[in-house]
Amino acid sequence: GNSVTQMEGPVTLSEEAFLTINCTYTATGYPSLFWYVQYPGEGLQLLLKATKADDKGSNKGFEATYRKETTSFHLEKGSVQVSDSAVYFCALSRRNEKLTFGTGTRLTIIP
């Protein structure tokens, strides 16, 4: 079956530091890959997505590239802000199937 493994948290960084949250997956076929972000007390927001190999999703300074050869979709940001503190979920789905989530990575940015 499908599975997503993401970097265990919590992750604590200083403001303006470089961020990487690792995500690898196992799936048959060619799933779409997603990063969702959850701020405290809220639902999930779609941060970015990629639907095929070598696609790069980007939004709000965050980027992730769909790497089929390494089955990875690592999330990166060049300079984090305090407002980026949240829980980040990596997920995948094949067309018309349910999402498979990673366990989530809690990120805290300190001024």
Cβ of residue 41: shortest distance to another protein, in angstroms?
A: 8
- What is the CA 96 to chain-centroid distance, rounded? 21
**Closest by Cα among 105, 108, 109, 110 to 9:** 105
Q: How far is CA 14 from CA 6, 8, 20, 56, 109, in A?
A: 21, 18, 13, 26, 5
50 close to 99: Cβ distance less than 8 angstroms: no
Which of 2, 5, 49, 72 is in the footprint of another protein by CB under 8 A?
49
Report the site for another protein in 26-45 (rule: CB under 8 A).
Answer: 32, 34, 36, 41-45
Q: Is 84 helix (H, G, I), strand (E, B) or coil?
A: helix
Which of 75, 102, 107, 109 touches another protein by CB under 8 A? Answer: 102
Nearer to another protein, 73 or 89 (CB): 89
Nearer to another protein, 36 or 80 (CB): 36
Nearer to another protein (CB atom), residue 36 or residue 109: 36
Q: What residues make contact with another protein under the rule CB under 8 A?
A: 32, 34, 36, 41-46, 49, 89, 93, 95-96, 98-99, 101-104, 106
